[in-house]
A and B are shown apart, each in its own frame.
Chain A
Amino acid sequence: MTITKTKRTGSVIFSEYKSGESIKKALSLKRDDILFEMRTSKLKGRGGAGFPTATKWMLAAASISKEKFVICNADEGEPGTFKDRVLLLEYPELVMDGMVVAGYTIGAEKGIIYLRGEYEYMIQSLEDYLENMRRENLLGNNILQTGFNFDVSIRMGSGAYVCGEETALIESLEGQRGEARNKPPYPVNTGFLGRPTIVNNVETLCAVSHIVVKGGEWFKTYGTDKSTGSKLFSISGDCKYPGVYELPWGTSINELLDKVGASHTKAVQVGGASGICLSKNEFDRKLSFEDVPTGGSIMIFNETRDMIKILKNYMEFFVEESCGQCTPCRIGNKKLLEGVKMIEEGTITYSYLKSLRELGHTMQVASKCGLGQSSPNSFISITEKFKDEIFRYGNGGNNGK
């Protein structure tokens, strides 16, 4: 498969970077110095949860163990997300270098890329790239004659969205069903094979490469106070120019819609199927951890689209992709889906719809992992913000039908 590299420009991730640069710099620094830069940068995880990367690394660095692991989460399964695909295909140097830096910082010698099964076509180019790094002594034993050993292997997923959740991912690596673990303890203490493990998103690791070279202060000049740096957005749906965009945090939905050539937009789903749906009157809201946080998926829907159909698609996704171990998520999503079908059929009562929304709130707080905790988001936001479409299906409420 040939990879066409588009020339991309951006302020942070897509800025100039020479392969191996951050490894060279990092290995000349003390671990604490790297952690300091990371802390200064205030980088937050790009995988969705937004956990401060420096904190995660410090905890892992502080754990005492003869073996630690760095895992790159390349399971990108959230509907509407494809930025990691672009990074892995076009900027592997940023990802790999970031992993080596992470390994050096926390004291790990093994890195694993968990690549989703759907991306199997990338594996050759990634393996080639790793081989190249080994030849240049950026990977393997005694990297750049510093005595530091680190190697990266690639493991494939097999088509299970929930394996993007970090503990489910670790289970999957251990040869188990991808079922999320109980937390605490967290992977930074008890991760892969019971060892301290950090799991980072592809984009997070790319940001690390830049931060190490250019400094935390530089990184902080982009974005907002609590959301530093920039973000890659995967834009899809009803617009002229879908694709991956690097934009500073704090960009408003309106600005974004302008940029990608979207018109007559009715709704924007931020954060994929597990994200929330924004309606017209919210388009001035800003993409940032302070306002509308996201892992980067933006789906745009214009006025001709049927929100109930969209919601049904999301709920079908969760009914299938839940790992199925905990009650609220396994059965709850099914009930929400049935609710959507009842809306379509025009048979739902408003009191039942209310019960379902309350159920959604229960799922948000009582599910075992992030999947069940976020899967009701779209149900709750769409049934709230697009009430008129429920009416359109002939649901007159308790007495109306």
Chain B
Amino acid sequence: MLLAEKNSLTEEIERLVEKYGSNRSSLLPVLQDIQRNHRYISEHAQQEIARVLDIHPVEVYSVISFYSFLNTKPKGRNIVRLCRTITCDLAGKDSIVKAVERELGIKFGETTKDKRITLEFANCLGMCDQGPAMLVNYKVYTKLTPEKAVEILNELK
């Protein structure tokens, strides 16, 4: 990472801590914002967050690793989370998995080479009455068909 990048990240973290407070309770909101803005929480970001909140870097890492929506490795620009709860499964999740994987040429858990899309599973999106469902970044799509799912993904930048 370049020095300038590092400094701007530090500034961003300090701004966030000012916004949420410098006690440990602010850890998740800060992490969530960094995740949203950078799509991952880098090693440097973790150490800076630890510094300003006066906790240990390993504690930050430990918390990140607990939550499915936070990650420490760069991911794609768009994160696609397909629900794998049984109701979505029974409604045809598997055929969507196959269609999407074939279309993008990657498996679930992987990111496209151009960093456009990361495919993941999610545990229950709370759309069980309208399955299969998937979350694209923060937007949900329901009653998917393989065709519809692929179309949605193809529109992503």
User: Touching in the complex, A and B, CB below 8 A?
Assistant: yes
Q: Which residues of A contact B124 (CB under 8 A)?
A: 77-81, 118, 161, 317
B68 at the interface (CB under 8 A from A): yes
Decide: B140 and A121 in contact? CB cutoff 8 A.
yes
Whole-angstrom distance from the CB of A319 to the nearest CB of chain B?
11
- The segment from B59-67, B95-103, B104-112 that touches chain A is B59-67
**B interface footprint on A226-264 (CB within 8 Å = 1, 0 otherwise):** 000000001111100011100000000000000000000
Whole-angstrom distance from the CB of A313 to the nearest CB of chain B?
4
Could you say which of B63, B67, B86, B128 has the most chain A C-beta atoms within 10 Å of its C-beta?
A: B86
Whole-angstrom distance from the CB of A239 to the nearest CB of chain B?
10
Q: Which residues of A contact B130 (CB under 8 A)?
A: 242
Q: Which of A79, A117, A243, A317 contacts B87 (CB 8 A)?
A: A79
**Beta-carbon contacts under 8 Å, A199-213 to B:** none
Q: Which residues of B contact A178 (CB under 8 A)?
A: 66-67
A64 at the interface (CB under 8 A from B): no
**A interface footprint on B127-156 (CB within 8 Å = 1, 0 otherwise):** 111110001001110000000000000000
**Beta-carbon contacts under 8 Å, B16-31 to A:** 23-29, 31
Whole-angstrom distance from the CB of B16 to the nearest CB of chain A?
13
Decide: B126 and A85 in contact? CB cutoff 8 A.
yes
Q: Which residues of B contact A119 (CB under 8 A)?
A: 126
Whole-angstrom distance from the CB of A382 to the nearest CB of chain B?
12
Q: Which residues of B contact A225 (CB under 8 A)?
A: none
Once the chains are docked, how many angstroms separate the CA of A235 from the CA of B87? 10
A155 at the interface (CB under 8 A from B): yes
Q: Which residues of B contact A234 (CB under 8 A)?
A: 128-129
Decide: A79 and B28 in contact? CB cutoff 8 A.
no
Decide: B63 and A177 in contact? CB cutoff 8 A.
yes
A1 at the interface (CB under 8 A from B): yes
Whole-angstrom distance from the CB of A95 to the nearest CB of chain B?
15
Decide: B139 and A156 in contact? CB cutoff 8 A.
no
Q: Which residues of B contact A385 (CB under 8 A)?
A: none
**Beta-carbon contacts under 8 Å, B67-100 to A:** 67-70, 84-87, 89-90
Decide: B129 and A158 in contact? CB cutoff 8 A.
no
Decide: A238 and B90 in contact? CB cutoff 8 A.
yes
For B127, the closest partner residue in chain A by CB is A82
Once the chains are docked, how many angstroms separate the CA of A118 from the CA of B126? 8
Decide: B129 and A242 in contact? CB cutoff 8 A.
yes
Once the chains are docked, how many angstroms separate the CA of A178 from the CA of B126? 20
A291 at the interface (CB under 8 A from B): no
- The segment from A41-49, A167-175, A182-190, A355-363 that touches chain B is A167-175
For A311, the closest partner residue in chain B by CB is B86
Q: Which of A77, A121, A159, A314 contacts B86 (CB 8 A)?
A: A314
**A interface footprint on B44-69 (CB within 8 Å = 1, 0 otherwise):** 00000000010000000011001111
Q: Which residues of A contact B140 (CB under 8 A)?
A: 118, 121
Whole-angstrom distance from the CB of A5 to the nearest CB of chain B?
16
Query: How many chain-A residues does the 8 Å CB contact rule pick out?
Result: 50
Once the chains are docked, how many angstroms separate the CA of A244 from the CA of B127? 11
Once the chains are docked, how many angstroms separate the CA of A227 from the CA of B50? 48
Q: Which of A158, A176, A301, A314 contacts B69 (CB 8 A)?
A: A158
B125 at the interface (CB under 8 A from A): yes
Whole-angstrom distance from the CB of A381 to the nearest CB of chain B?
15
A303 at the interface (CB under 8 A from B): no
Q: Which residues of A contact B68 (CB under 8 A)?
A: 117, 158-160
**Beta-carbon contacts under 8 Å, A293-335 to B:** 299, 301, 305, 310, 313-314, 317, 320-321, 323
For B53, the closest partner residue in chain A by CB is A175
Q: Which residues of A contact B29 (CB under 8 A)?
A: 155-156
Whole-angstrom distance from the CB of A339 to the nearest CB of chain B?
18
Once the chains are docked, how many angstroms separate the CA of A78 from the CA of B63? 22
For B30, the closest partner residue in chain A by CB is A175
Q: Which residues of B contact A282 (CB under 8 A)?
A: none
Q: Which of A79, A116, A301 contacts B85 (CB 8 A)?
A: A79
Given that A175-B28, A305-B90 are known contacts, is A159 also in contact with B122, CB under 8 Å in the complex?
A: yes
Decide: A317 and B27 in contact? CB cutoff 8 A.
no
Could you say which of B25, B87, B125 has the most chain A C-beta atoms within 10 Å of its C-beta?
A: B87
Whole-angstrom distance from the CB of A399 to the nearest CB of chain B?
33
A165 at the interface (CB under 8 A from B): no
For A239, the closest partner residue in chain B by CB is B129
Decide: B131 and A120 in contact? CB cutoff 8 A.
no
Decide: B67 and A81 in contact? CB cutoff 8 A.
no
A193 at the interface (CB under 8 A from B): yes
Once the chains are docked, how many angstroms separate the CA of A299 from the CA of B85? 11
Given that A77-B124, A79-B124, A118-B135 are known contacts, is A175 also in contact with B27, CB under 8 Å in the complex?
A: yes
A166 at the interface (CB under 8 A from B): no
Give me 5 A-to-B residue pairs in the complex whose CB atoms sit less than 8 angstroms apart, sorted by A's number.
A77-B124, A78-B124, A79-B86, A79-B123, A323-B66
In the A-B complex, the 6 residue pairs with the closest CB atoms: A175-B27, A159-B68, A158-B67, A236-B128, A242-B129, A159-B69
New A-B contacts (6) at CB < 8 Å, excluding given A156-B29, A237-B87, A237-B90:
A77-B124, A81-B126, A116-B126, A118-B122, A121-B140, A173-B25
* B interface residue numbers (CB < 8 A to A): 23-29, 31-32, 35, 53, 62-63, 66-70, 84-87, 89-90, 122-131, 135, 138-140
